[in-house]
Structure 1
Amino acid sequence: MRATLDAAQAAGLKVVIVPLSLPDARWVQQNGGKFDDRLWSDPAFADQAVQFWGDLAAALKDHPAIAGYNLLNEPAPEKTTGLAENGAMPDLLAWQAAQAGTPRDLPKLYTRMITAVRAVDPVPPVMVDGGSYANPRALAAWPEKLDDDRVLYAFHMYEPYAATSAPNMKRDVPLRYPGVTTDYAGGEQVWNRAAVVAHIDHAFDWAAAQGLPPTRIVAAELGCMRLWPDCATYLTDVIDAVEARGGHWAFYSFREDEWEGMDYELPNSVTPGRFYYLSEEGKADKLPRDGALIGILRQRMGGSE
């Protein structure tokens, strides 16, 4: 990790450190395809997670490439409890209240982790994802902000997931945007620009109620399958929604080394098979990188197409 950070610094890049796993909360892809619920079900495991972050922050303290610490990618303490990910807001609020002081109390765990980080490194911002895989509605169910003035609150935006994700591309007729309908908030939601705005607004409305400026809210991941015909429209609507509220955003992904699905530099003429063939042959540098989608993203980041 130090070597990677050194390389980033040499290239003029800044890095946010974010683990996909914590002790006893292994990333499902590295856990035999099974969700690891241990961190969320046994209070003893939280001690290990807190110690991990204290040790990591101490080891990396003062490295000039570090822009911040994101404590855990897409936590899901709700996963095994029967709570619907996009259930009715009263249900989300009741669930969060019932978990106060338990191992599934995500804000409490974050508070302990932040205390461990700040004991050795008081400077870098700390980023925290909301529950239900960084759903903004799960963040909006938190009773209060965390007690640290250098916390950024993050959400991920792939809703409607049924349309933006890889499984949709395997349908005989892929779901389209706008117009796709999904279960949402105890009913059904027809997804269009207004629905995207309303979903994202949950995070910003919560921040405003907590007295936080919108600059403390980050759409830390947003994206859609590059070959989905509606990806450009969707990306534009999501970025518009975040920027209208004054928040930050980052897209997923830039040159993901093992997956082409959301590599927006690739034009539609590059099939998945071609990507994997050239990558396996050590010829990934031969891939064209003039896709229309990366042009949209560059323009929104203030760069040239």
Structure 2
Amino acid sequence: MLRTLQVSALALMLLNSNALAGETIDFWNTPQHGGNSFNRLPPSLDYFQALKGYGATWVRLSYDKWQPQQRDFLLGTADRYTGLMPADLATLKATLDRAQAAGLKVVVTPLSLPGMRWRQNNGDRFDDRLWQDKTYWDQSAQFWTDLARALKDHPAVAAYNLVNEPAPERQARLPEHASPAAMRTWYARHQQTARNLPAFYNQVIRAIRRVDSRTPIMVDAGWYAAADAFAYWPGLLDDTHVLYSVHMYEPYAATSAPNINRPIPYRYPGRVEFAGKQRLWNKARVASYLQVPVQWAEKHRLPVNRLVVGEFGCMRRLPDCRQYLEDVLSVLDETRLHWAFYSFREDTWDGMDYELGTAKVPWAYWEAIERRQPDPVPRRATGVFEPIRARLAARPASSAE
């Protein structure tokens, strides 16, 4: 009986949400703060309610770690897309229902597309086929057409993030964090090839708009969504309902897990290897670096509420992680950009799960992964999580329901 009442309550919430659903671009008119969900198991209602309970308004949801019907979730196989996998789609829709019941908006974010299988699902090999052969552009456009047709009326969906962290530049001799002039020279050479990321996005967006004229589209910058990688884009994309996203882990040498194992780890603030040089990284440099996409937006008359920091974070066990998070979030407070921290209660890698504090996880965490069981480790607000928790709790009243 209790289960019947719970199901009925969920159905009522979804019905009411459908009745109130409006133009979803309006959701992005004021700063929205949330988290990333890159879990191996589809998140439960409790999971979404916990994130909402902190004050989050949205979640960037990736499904590529979930158990697929065939080789690749939803795609069937990234080698040749022929249609959505119905069992996978049902799993995704049920997960969206739970997010909606918790009061969270969702940005649907694939890690793989046809011709671009996510590296961790590909034997740790970078898959560059999408950026070599436009046949995969056509397949990606068809995939997104099918997915948009299936999801366009779901009230939880706040945007389609076309692909996570594309890197068409990686195998085409453009150094990461190259100068803007070098980036523009590179783009001029590759503008007529499959490495033209803005052209790829425009093709996919045109396909989506044939079946869904309303849902906003989120696009990551190139070079793994680097904050300086919009520099070579000649202008905005053709569609007006587009959100432009960057990710913030710089200086990566200091914020990432390998730093723990260095004989002398980099410290933050401090001098850190970046773009081939030792540079002083502190709050001022974080602000300067994150100003790059803002300046690009201003140049092209893009409102700041169409810019997103879709991911940011640092390895939680590093002694400087809390200070880094505080500095990044202080800059985001000032610029009023949308953001989503990486990550919330990840059940396959603990490195940026800030509720775990700074200690190692117990062996039960890894046993659950091996047995494909739910993560058994309890979470709580910790010191390293405090900069995020405080901002989520203090979100602007206009962002709350």
TM-score (norm 1): 0.93
When residues 255 and 275 of structure 1 are mapped into structure 2, their CA distance, relative to the original with a 3 A threshold, is farther
Secondary structure of the 1:265 match is: helix
Residue 3 of structure 1, CA deviation: 1.2
Q: Which residue of 1 aligns with 2:293?
A: 203
Q: Which has the higher contact order (CA 8 A, sep 6+)?
A: 2
Q: Name the structure 2 match of 1:302.
A: 393
The answer on whether the counterparts of 1:78 and 1:104 sit within 8 Å (CA) in structure 2 is yes
Contact 2:221/2:245 (<8 A) preserved? yes
Alpha-carbon distance, 1:129 to partner:
0.2
Q: Which digits, 9 at most, give the CA deviation of each residue in 1:31-77, with x for residues without a partner? A: 11111110101122211111111111011121111111000000000
Residues 1:19 and 2:115 aligned together = no
CA distance in 1, matches of 2:378, 2:393: 25
Question: Is residue 2:238 matched to residue 1:147?
Answer: yes
Corresponding residue for residue 164 of structure 1: 255
Tell whether the 8 Å contact from 2:343 to 2:352 is kept in structure 1 after alignment.
Answer: yes
Give the one of 222, 239, 245 matched to 2:312.
222
Structure 1: distance between partners of 2:181 and 2:382 = 43
- Whether the 8 Å CA contact 1:16–1:66 is kept in 2: the answer is yes
1:42 maps to 133
Shift of 1:194: 1.5
Counterpart selection for 1:83 from 174, 178, 184: 174
The alignment partner of 1:69 has SS state of: strand
Partner of residue 213 from structure 1, selected from 298, 303, 313:
303
**Letter aligned with residue 361 of structure 2:** P
Q: Identify the match of residue 276 of structure 1 among 365, 378, 389.
A: 365
Q: Shift of residue 182 of structure 1?
A: 1.5
d(CA) in 2 for partners of 1:275, 1:196: 37
Residue 190 of structure 1 aligns to a residue whose secondary structure is strand
SS in 2 for 1:180: strand
Aligned to 2:324: 234
Match of 1:126 in 2: 217
Matched, 1:255 2:345: yes
Structure 1: tracts of 5 or more residues without a match: none
Question: Which residue does the alignment assign to 2:68?
Answer: none
Residues 267 and 143 (structure 1), Cα distance of their counterparts in 2 relative to 1, 3 Å cut: same
Task: State the alpha-carbon separation in 2 of the partners of residues 72 and 226 from structure 1.
Answer: 26
Which of 207-216 and 238-247 deviates more? 238-247
Contact 1:163 1:180 in 2 (8 A): no
**Contact residue 278 and residue 287 of structure 1 kept, 8 A:** no
CA drift at 1:187: 4.7
SS of the aligned residue for 1:154 comes to: strand
What are the within-5 Å matches in structure 2 for residues 86-105 of structure 1?
86-105=177-196
Alignment CA distance shift 1:261-1:275 (3 Å):
farther
- Cα pair 1:264 1:294 within 8 Å, conserved: yes
- Contact 1:54 / 1:117 at 8 angstroms: preserved in 2? yes
Q: Secondary structure at the match of 2:228?
A: helix
Partner of 1:53: 144
169-178 or 51-60: which moved more?
A: 169-178
Q: Gaps (5+ residues) in structure 2?
A: 1-91, 396-401
Give me the identity figure in percent.
49
CA separation of 1:119 and 1:231: change in aligned 2, threshold 3 A: same
Computed over aligned residues only, the root mean square deviation of the Cα atoms, in angstroms, reads 1.9
Moved more, 278-287 or 49-58: 278-287
Change (3 A) 1:171 1:150: same
Residue 137 of structure 1 aligns to a residue whose secondary structure is coil
Tell me if structure 1 keeps the 8 A contact 2:220–2:244.
Answer: yes
> Which is worse superposed, 105-114 or 242-251?
242-251
- Which TM-score applies when normalising by structure 2? 0.72
Deviation at 1:21, TM superposition (A): 0.5
Does the 8 A contact of 2:305 with 2:336 survive in 1? Answer: yes
Q: Of residues 97, 112, 125 in structure 2, which corresponds to 1:6?
A: 97
Offset of residue 189 of structure 1: 2.4
SS in 1 for 2:386: helix
* Structure 1 residues 283 and 51: alpha-carbon distance in aligned structure 2, compared to 1, 3 A threshold: closer
**Residue 183 and residue 146 in structure 1: after superposition, are their counterparts in 2 closer, same or farther (change >3 A)?**
same
1:116 matches 2:116: no
CA distance in 2: counterparts of 1:196 and 1:225, whole angstroms: 17
Tell me, in whole angstroms, the C-alpha distance in 2 between the residues paired with 1:58 and 1:288.
37
